[in-house]
Amino acid sequence: MMYVLATTNAGEVLKVPMFVEHFMEYHGSFSEFVMEHYDNHKQDSDWDTDQKLPFINPPIVLTVHAQLPELSFEIKKPKEITVSKKSSIYKEKDFSNQYLSQIFQPPRLS
């Protein structure tokens, strides 16, 4: 927990009471307070107090640079598959004509 608070912006949450206290002393609306202190704040009489506000000077201890890999894909046209007609094992010329007169005959190619 101590490491997370010290090396990330989570520690800035601990400065919220200072933010509330400084806003209570401010004479103006909340939006004016935020604009004055967080939008190009210039040095003034309460500069030291302003520097203790959350997210004014966040700690830059740990910087992580991540880059997503470039994703690309292409759809390739499928190759034509040709199926050659294989000849069957049976060849009519291998059989004699004696079977033609019988009821049971070997299969024929059409």
State pLDDT tens for residues 51-85.
888 877 765 555 566 787 888 888 888 888 777 77
Count Cβ atoms below 10 Å from residue 37 Cβ, excluding itself. 19
Angle ∠(84,87,88) on CA atoms, nearest 5: 135
Q: For 1-102, where are the alpha helices, taking DSSP H only? A: 2-7, 16-25, 30-38, 47-50
Domain ranges for the chain: 12-51
pTM recorded for the entire structure: 0.43
3-state secondary structure at position 55: coil
Give the residue with greater pLDDT, 17 vs 92: 17
